[in-house]
Amino acid sequence: MPRLSPPAIRRLHANTPLLAALLPTCKTLNSAHNELRWIREHVWSCTLAPQFQSIAEAKGNDEKSRNALLRRLCRLRGRGYPLQYILGTQPFGRHIDIKCRPGVLIPRPETEAWTTHLAKLMRRAWKVNRHMKGEGIHAHLRILDLCTGSGCIALLLHSLLFRKFPKIRVQGLDIEPRAVSLAKENLAYNVERGLLQQQNADAISFEETDIFSADWLAPILEQVSFSLTDNPRGRLLHSERGAVDILVSNPPYISREGFDRDTERSVRNHEPRLALVPEPLADNPSYATVLPEDVFYARILDVAEILRPRFVVLEVGDLAQAVRVVQMARERNSDAEEVEIWRDWPDMQPREGEPESVDVAGMTVPVRGSGNGRVVFLRRLNLYEYENKSNRKAIQRPWNIC
């Protein structure tokens, strides 16, 4: 940002102390002006996060008390406290508002971008398949969201896809009880505000689960007929359709060193480390050779071998990690027909100097969009495509969904 001179900073403190309080975190005056406006609006409309709203109610709603609270919140924000934890919500996509609170990761705009892009691909595939196979043939869609956090991905996907897939079902799983509780609250909150309809909400569920445990897959697998081979990961024999159609995840993916070195102060001091840094696996030799920050991807890819989703979409930290995940996918998911890497903004054209493909162990992998490496996208063959693999037209976009 342009450096403010010492006299300018002194004038700022004298004339607009609220902006000066915000500046250490906001960095620019324009950003500080925007955040001051948002905080002021929430203070005066009594729509702050619950912990601050209770303070406001205890102090009274007169002008003096509200101005005192406004000053307190600006100072708190200036010390790096997340804005979303002050305001209490974060818009996610055009149709969803996500409640935010300490202990649960705040939704990021990059996550919103790839979630919206994925929904666009699914709607496009639905349109073509409907034309080819008739109305209603693709009404069902089953989505599993691992490490769901606030539930933002699950809720946005449902809101963007339920009109094309009226029998869509979305399930979000997380090990953190506070995250599951907030995800359920976000579901109810968006129904209450009319952003989701009640009949659609009945098709969304959130549960507390440790995906590294041995028995959590059983209820999901009970929904489909399956047989186990001698594959140690228990691969399904049928290849027409798996237990879920789309498997998505934004798991912990930052190394301990990266968390301490590369994350912003507000993230290190206020957001949950558990949602960002994988915990060490003490007694699991299956992942002994995997980098600690990549261990969730190894586990999720093993889960994909069991559940057999048509699409696997994994958020990653950067392009280097995306390449490692692609390599793991080649080793653990042998029938992944299509592999892509998406950048932060997958719908944008690459900037100058941003490569449009990378080489992964001799395989050319397309890199779509602009920005940092953000997502690994995998598509598995269905039975029709597998039997017609020699006919390349049969397995090019848009795909058969089921």
With b for 16 or more beta-carbon neighbours within 10 A and e for fewer, the 16-44 pattern comes to bebbbbbbebbeebeebeebbeebbebbe
Asked if 126 contacts 138 with a C-beta cutoff of 8 angstroms, the reply is yes
> 13 pLDDT exceeds 90?
no
> 390 pLDDT exceeds 90?
no
Asked if 311 contacts 333 with a C-beta cutoff of 8 angstroms, the reply is no
> 394 pLDDT exceeds 90?
no
Say what the pLDDT of residue 198 is. Answer: 76
CA–CA separation, 283 and 177 (whole Å): 23
pLDDT: which is higher, 15 or 202? 202
Q: Which residues contact 169 (CB under 8 A, 6 or more apart)?
A: 140, 141, 142, 143, 203, 204
Q: Using only the alpha carbons of the chain, give its radius of gyration.
A: 23
Please name the helix (run of DSSP H) or strand (run of DSSP E) that holds residue 303, with its range, or none.
helix 295-307
Say what the pLDDT of residue 122 is. Answer: 93
Bridge-based pairing of strands 204-208 and 96-99 is: unpaired
Digit-coded pLDDT (tens) for 115-148: 999 999 999 887 766 544 544 445 789 999 999 9
> 291 pLDDT exceeds 90?
yes
Distances (CA, A) of 5 to 32, 309, 359: 17, 57, 48
**Nearest residue to 150 (alpha-carbon basis) of 106, 118, 191, 116:** 106
**Nearest residue to 370 (alpha-carbon basis) of 357, 385, 383, 354:** 354
Q: Domains in the chain and their CATH numbers? A: 6-87 (no CATH), 109-395 (3.40.50.150)
Question: Would you say how long the chain is, in residues?
Answer: 402
One-letter amino acid for residue 61 of the chain: N
At residue 184, what are phi and psi to the nearest 5 degrees? Answer: -65, -40
Task: Give me the chain's average pLDDT, please.
Answer: 85
Rounded to the nearest 10 degrees, the angle between the axes of helix 17-26 and helix 6-15 is 130
One-letter amino acid for residue 48 of the chain: L
Digit-coded pLDDT (tens) for 25-77: 988 889 999 999 999 999 999 999 998 988 888 877 788 889 999 999 999 99
CA–CA separation, 98 and 370 (whole Å): 26
Say what the pLDDT of residue 227 is. Answer: 36
Say what the pLDDT of residue 35 is. Answer: 95
Say what the pLDDT of residue 401 is. Answer: 53
At residue 204, what are phi and psi to the nearest 5 degrees? Answer: -120, 135
Digit-coded pLDDT (tens) for 351-385: 999 999 999 989 999 999 999 999 999 998 654 45
Tokens of 153: 């991905």
